Amino acid sequence: MSNVFFKSVSVSGKIVFFKEVMMKDAISPHGGKLINLIIEGKERETLDEKIPSFKKIRLNKREVSDLEMIATGALSPLEGFMVKKDYDSVLDMMHLSNGLPWTIPITLSATEDEAKNLREGEDIALMDESEMILGILHLEEKYTYDKEKEADQVYGTLDAAHPGVAYLYQMGDILLGGKIGLLKRPKHNDFLKYRFDPAETRKIFRDKGWKRVVGFQTRNPIHRAHEYIQKCALETVDGLFLHPLVGETKGDDIPASIRMRSYEVILEKYYPMDRTVIGVFPAAMRYAGPKEAIFHAIIRKNYGCTHFIVGRDHAGVGNYYGTFDAHYIFDEFDLEKIGIIPLFFDHTFFCKTCGGMASYKTCPHDSNHHVTLSGTKVREMLKKGEIPPVEFTRPEVAKVLIEGMNR
């Protein structure tokens, strides 16, 4: 029997009420069902025999990570790469054609030369860059698309200096839509003890008895501001799911291996480990700002989170997005359909007068009282082997970053 109650949440000053359903898992996947498209048993054996006769398409790193996430349910309710009606609906309406909120197209591209030999209705073998066959695509549709429209609708800019737009512009001119099946998991040699599928994190949360779980997305080391907002959120829920992205990022982001070590050292010393779980997020970074905030929230819902932290400039890059655009975009959706509670946090810092961490919402003092450092300044200090002020970052984290950046 499910227990249904109404939850209120403040969104940009408005109080919105929606239902939370407490079932075996605390929250249902997006669309109500956790997708599993991993092919096993006799079906796998039959396909292995047929694969040599299939036409083949090579996937890049982002497409490989998307394939794996579709198959494991991280991108539920998607069952494959988007067909045109879903692609168009996401761009124009920020919803799938079935009405569910969705903000980032999940697509597989091909060149015209590659696509001309592929027939709708046939099965295509999907390979990684080493030509290992990972899965199959049942090709339902081949279609053209407008790259500039996608750039504008998803990233809010046509500027090729934006990393997401740059990726889009180098994609093939034809999109291949259809359901997929995963025959073999992509080969991972790193973070093996932290690689959890959504079904596994849901079981972890369930075994711990957690009904209210807050997820945190990051592609950066945790500094004191991150720690502050995570612990503020943890005061209101049963557990924290720290979910750092380890897929493809832009070249000047700190490598995932260094970041993961920095997470380990801060968790060991400063976090309640009985109320914290860390797992890696295999997605590629899109840098789509507000659109990616919605996308990240929905995915964490699929992993079993009931709440999701949205900080300032979530998934931002450069000056393409306003500081709190990732908060405001939630006003454009029915929160009951999104189904996960967003927790919005302002800019946070250490205030010398308050004597602790604070934000613009809680601190009455001007910026002269605050300990803040630009990313550029921090990188300069770390490259020189200098540890930033303890009010900005934990020394243990700084030491890991210094060692990693100066190898």
* Residues 135, 44: Cα–Cα separation, whole Å: 10
Amino acid present at 401? L
Question: Of the residues 44, 185, 195, 220, which is catalytic?
Answer: 220
110 forms bridges with which residues in the sheet?
A: 174
* Residues 80, 139: Cα–Cα separation, whole Å: 10
244 cis-preceded (ω within 30 degrees of 0): no
pLDDT for 375: 77
Topology match between the domains 41-182 and 190-405: no
Domain residue ranges of the chain, discontinuous segments joined by +: 41-182, 190-405
Asked if residues 260 and 280 have their Cβ atoms less than 8 Å apart, the reply is yes
Q: Is 321 exposed, middle or buried (0-12, 13-18, 19+ CB in 10 A)?
A: buried
Ordered DSSP codes for 135-149:
EEEE--EEEE--HHH
CA angle 5, 273, 345 (to 5 degrees): 55
Q: List Cα–Cα distances, 266 to 214, 270, 378, 379, in angstroms.
A: 18, 6, 18, 19
Amino acid present at 51? I
Q: Indicate the CATH number for domain 41-182.
A: 3.10.400.10
pLDDT for 24: 67
Answer yes or no: 220 catalytic: yes
Per-residue HEC secondary structure of 322-359 comes to: CCCHHHHHHHHCCHHHHCCEEEECCCEEEECCCCEEEE
Q: Is 162 exposed, middle or buried (0-12, 13-18, 19+ CB in 10 A)?
A: buried
Asked if residues 275 and 240 have their Cβ atoms less than 8 Å apart, the reply is yes
Under-50 pLDDT residues of the chain:
1-23
- Fold of the domain built from segment(s) 190-405: Rossmann fold (3.40.50)
